[in-house]
Structure 1
Amino acid sequence: MPAKKKAKSSPKPSSTKRAKLRVLLADDEILFRDVIKDRLTMERDIEIVGEADDGAAAIKLARQLKPDVILMDINMTGGMGGVEATREIRKSLPKVKVLMLSSFTDEVHVMEAVQAGALGYISKRLPTHELVRALKTFAEAGTMLPQPVMHRAVNRLNAASRLGETGLGELTQTQMRVLALLGEGKSNKEIAEELGCNVKTVKNHLNILFQKFDVKNRTEAVVRGIKAGLIAGR
């Protein structure tokens, strides 16, 4: 009898189908949220699992849905902001990655986001196709910070840790900013314009700085800040 031909088995379909990136959107601007959502839904490997219009809603949805990434607006009016929400989410959900969205790209805002637990920080002004690319890169790499700002932020974080070692106590983010502006030779009025506050508030910050540094004037404060490594010498 002729030998039976062995049936050729067809190759098995791959069982390693890549899971979609599950994203939670948190932004109080409905129009911006809709634009981003429409663009992200065009991506086969991304799934929008929920939307929040303030920090409290973002926390609630994050705990319910456990997304891979949260696109979080840093400033959300009318409720809890992105920084506070990020801090709470990272406490209870350390595996959830937060990519902070902001119109601000200065080191003060970056530091606030990083200290709260955000692993990435990008501008809301990016074209949508670049934002999508940044989101995917962030999901794979785990971090994304503007390079020039990142270096300045890291330097300031290191300086803040050195502050305790020098016995000068702790400074708030605003006080660090005031000290940096002092080092640039800014007047009280110019500092107020930079911070978006009035001159009286600036004077209050200066008085606190003088007390913490045990100095009597602006020049002594700058010198003390340079010696502590908090600001660069001019």
Structure 2
Amino acid sequence: MLVADDEQLIRAGLRAIVEGEPDLTVVGEAADGAHAVAEAARLRPDVILMDVRMPALDGIQATRRILEPAGRAPKIIVVTTFENDEYVYDALRAGAAGFLLKRARPQDIVQAIRMVAHGETLLFPAAIRALATEHGRAPEGGARWHGRLTEREAEVLRLMAKGHSNAEIAEELFVSPQTVKTHVGNTLAKLHARDRTQAVIFAYETGFITPA
């Protein structure tokens, strides 16, 4: 894992939390976004904890640059002081897998790292809805892309926006978890979304789902 934050004390604290776990290792640190981009390319970490407000290059631009090349890319968790922060929303739009508050409990930080490392997304429905309400762009015309989704895929997207897991969606729709997994994969592909968070943000920004 790579830790990117301009405050040495924060980096040291996060490193101590992570390295206290037998299955997690910090392979490097970065004090700004430009350094984070360089270290991500050099070290190829599985997960990056990325501060959103850094000098030289902020966490949003760093996230975009790290995720831009095709192929294997690390999972990025943005770390912030305030959850209702436009920087956080922009980082999620750029492809971050989720976000954590700097005041989060150590066990929550560790759990989040393990989740994204295993391909899960840190989707907090209430927080995403609040961010979309505060910082979301004007609807771009959901009807233009809504036709790409089948009726069942649209249902799955709405349930994803509520934070439902595949198992919970399967129970709600009376289908198998494997069927839900297929629908989720198809939905992400049609929306050109990297993960569930990006798909949900896209749904808010096109007006398919309204924050209210």
Indicate which of 15, 37, 45 corresponds to 1:37: 15
Q: Give 1:152 shift.
A: 4.4
TM-score (norm 2): 0.61
Alignment of 1:1-234 (within 5 A): 23-76=1-54, 78-92=55-69, 95-106=73-84, 108-153=86-131, 159-162=138-141
Q: Give 1:97 shift.
A: 0.9
Q: Give 1:94 shift.
A: 5.1
Question: In 2, Cα distance between the equivalents of 1:149 and 1:39?
Answer: 24
Unaligned runs of 5+ in 2: 145-205
Question: In 1, Cα distance between the equivalents of 2:18 and 2:129?
Answer: 30
Q: Give 1:80 shift.
A: 0.8
Q: Give 1:100 shift.
A: 0.6
> Highest CA radius of gyration, 1 or 2?
1
The alpha-carbon distance between structure 1 residues 61 and 148, as it changes in their structure 2 partners (threshold 3 A), is: same
Please tell me the root mean square deviation across aligned C-alpha atoms, in Å: 3.1
Question: In 1, Cα distance between the equivalents of 2:12 and 2:85?
Answer: 28
Identical aligned pairs, as a percentage?
33
Q: Give 1:96 shift.
A: 1.2
Q: Is the 8 A contact 2:79 2:100 kept in 1?
A: yes
Post-superposition Cα deviations, 1:70-128, rounded to whole Å, max 9, x if no partner, equal 1000111x321100100000002652111111112116333201121111111111022
Post-superposition Cα deviations, 1:195-223, rounded to whole Å, max 9, x if no partner, equal xxxxxxxxxxxxxxxxxxxxxxxxxxxxx
Q: Give 1:145 shift.
A: 3.0
Q: Is the 8 A contact 1:107 1:152 kept in 2?
A: no
Q: Give 1:157 shift.
A: 5.7
Question: In 2, Cα distance between the equivalents of 1:42 and 1:70?
Answer: 17
Q: Give 1:135 shift.
A: 1.5
Q: SS in structure 2 opposite 1:160? A: coil
Question: In 2, Cα distance between the equivalents of 1:164 and 1:82?
Answer: 32
Q: Give 1:158 shift.
A: 8.1
AA in 1 matched with 2:103: R
AA in 1 matched with 2:62: A
The alpha-carbon distance between structure 1 residues 39 and 152, as it changes in their structure 2 partners (threshold 3 A), is: closer
How many correspondences in the alignment? 149
Question: In 1, Cα distance between the equivalents of 2:127 and 2:17?
Answer: 28
Q: Is the 8 A contact 1:122 1:145 kept in 2?
A: no
